[in-house]
A and B are shown apart, each in its own frame.
Chain A
Amino acid sequence: ETGVTQTPRHLVMGMTNKKSLKCEQHLGHNAMYWYKQSAKKPLELMFVYNFKEQTENNSVPSRFSPECPNSSHLFLHLHTLQPEDSALYLCASSQRDSNTGELFFGEGSRLTVL
């Protein structure tokens, strides 16, 4: 238990569906992140939120839409995805002013796009 909870753990959707991934952190951290993990590739940073303000959008297609209503909740809204978007989506949090910037990851949401 890392203190970062993601739901759902598994999601199968068609290319025309709209779905959302949810992340909640119970660590009191002030930064939250979405990462994409595809097979044989390093983790890819998608979005960063500091104090619920988006500070980074790593050239992510608009079919991925993040939302951060407060510093402990983060959503990733999905719309008209492509099969190549199938991956493990990891949420993470950190304390921005910590000594090391350690990332605490959730268990991930395994997304399959048909």
Chain B
Amino acid sequence: KNQVEQSPQSLIILEGKNCTLQCNYTVSPFSNLRWYKQDTGRGPVSLTIMTFSENTKSNGRYTATLDADTKQSSLHITASQLSDSASYICVVSAYSGGSYIPTFGRGTSLIVHP
């Protein structure tokens, strides 16, 4: 069964600090891994996407890494801002029968305090 596990479940940091969120997965056949940001009361928005051959991808202060051998990914946030307070969801997609089949993690809830 395809699964995506995220840690920590929640995280509180001070503004300006860095943090790293983790994602472990067992999804087959692997196609891509995406990190979404979901603000409270809003829909998820894609931050980064990585395929099997990519091991790092940046989007501003967000940097995602992928280790396809250990089936792990991380999302590193640099110099956090109050607007980074959100839920971060790791989504790993398999490709089968002409369709992408995403498996969602539970998300990590990040709170940035001033």
Contact = CB atoms under 8 A, between A and B. Distances in A.
Interface residues of B, number: 25
Interface string A84-109: 00000010101010001111011110
A9 B25 CA distance: 32
B43 A4 contact: yes
Contacts of A106: 43
B49 A100 contact: yes
B12 interface: no
23 contacts: A4-B43, A40-B106, A41-B106, A42-B4, A42-B104, A42-B106, A43-B89, A43-B104, A90-B44, A100-B31, A100-B32, A100-B49, A101-B95, A101-B100, A103-B46, A103-B102, A105-B43, A105-B44, A105-B45, A107-B41, A107-B42, A108-B41, A108-B42
Interface of B: 4, 31-32, 34, 41-46, 49, 51, 89, 91, 93, 95, 98-100, 102-107
Q: Is the interface of A mostly helix, strand, loop or mixed?
A: loop
B46 A102 contact: yes
Contacts of A73: none
